[in-house]
């Protein structure tokens, strides 16, 4: 039997690439836009993946929100780690079910949600955020989508120290990640990853220098991920005129066992 839209379900309402919304279905309520009104009662009980016509005749698609949909929605008012970078972090750092992962900073909670789903109910995410407004906003975002069961949130500057140990990966989106490389090494298991996201090459250079000079890290590398959508049309297929090019540099390294450990 197909999954059905229920009272309380989150739905992704899609008109086009720029006009789309994630909403919670509430019986007796309506979705309003300048393209018309959709009554939630008209879609409750129906499967995801339907087309629905608003009262003004505009046709919308109704889908189950994907992780990318949720991630973009969380970050509409803040800078986020884009899905193209988040996916690379998961693969390159080997983040999978059952792992214990430290993240900082939490930001909007977009990457936190990706990490949470990746480690699953048997894993745990420990996320640090120093700014109170971001901490509270992220908590609301994560609670909204029911993503808090395997997430521990710390309203704390991670540079003051990581509370957890026996960690499988440390993921950083900080202004000064090079200041945390020794602390990350302390809490990580042997041959496990640090992943650092930085928007500028100067930050990346300082991070790589700190990793390389300490003697505690191996297999240091930095990646940049570019993404370009292709408009596929009969006899006129071409790249779009706009693309998500540079967002940040991703630096990865594995912990080495040092002599005095």
| pLDDT for res 258 | 86
| pLDDT for res 43 | 96
Strand-pair partners of 97: none
| pLDDT for res 228 | 92
DSSP 120: -
Beta strand 167-172 with 36-39 is unpaired
DSSP code string of 6-29: -TT-EEEEESSSSSEEEEE--TT-
Q: Of 228, 229, 230, 226, nearest to 246 (Cα)?
A: 226
Domains of the chain and CATH, by start: 10-65 (3.10.330.20), 68-255 (3.40.50.150)
| pLDDT for res 1 | 41
Alpha helices in the chain (DSSP H): 67-74, 83-92, 110-119, 132-144, 181-187, 201-214
DSSP 54: -
Average pLDDT per consecutive 10 residues, the chain (261 residues; last block may be shorter): 82 91 94 95 94 95 88 68 93 97 94 95 97 94 89 98 98 97 97 97 98 96 94 94 90 90 53
* Predicted TM-score (pTM) of this structure: 0.81
Q: Is there a contact between 80 and 69 (Cβ–Cβ < 8 Å)?
A: no
**Side-chain-side CA neighbours of residue 217 (13 Å):** 27
Beta strand 230-231 with 238-239 is antiparallel
């Amino acid at each position: 039997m197909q999954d059905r839209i229920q009272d309380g379900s989150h739905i992704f309402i899609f008109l086009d690439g720029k006009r789309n919304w994630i909403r919670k279905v509430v019986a007796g309520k309506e979705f309003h836009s300048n393209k018309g009104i959709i009554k939630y009662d008209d879609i409750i009980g129906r499967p995801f993946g339907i087309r629905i016509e608003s009262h003004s005749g505009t046709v919308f698609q109704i889908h189950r929100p994907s992780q990318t949909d949720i991630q973009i929605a969380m970050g509409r008012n803040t800078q986020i780690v884009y899905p193209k970078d988040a996916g690379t972090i998961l693969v390159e750092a080997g983040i999978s079910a059952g792992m214990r992962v430290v993240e900082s900073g939490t930001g909007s909670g977009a990457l936190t949600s990706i990490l949470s789903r990746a480690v699953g109910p048997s894993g745990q995410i420990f996320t640090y955020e120093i700014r109170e407004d971001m901490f509270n906003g992220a908590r609301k975002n994560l609670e909204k989508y029911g993503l808090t069961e395997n997430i521990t949130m710390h309203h704390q500057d991670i540079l003051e120290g990581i509370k957890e140990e026996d960690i499988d990966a440390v993921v950083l989106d900080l202004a000064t990640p090079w200041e945390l490389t020794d602390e990350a090494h302390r809490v990580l298991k042997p041959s496990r990853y640090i992943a650092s996201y930085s928007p500028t090459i100067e930050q990346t250079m300082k991070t790589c220098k700190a990793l390389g000079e300490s003697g505690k890290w191996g297999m240091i590398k930095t990646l940049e991920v570019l993404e370009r959508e292709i408009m596929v049309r009969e006899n006129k297929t071409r790249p779009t005129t706009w693309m998500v090019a540079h967002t940040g540099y991703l630096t990865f390294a594995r912990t080495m066992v040092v002599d005095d450990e």
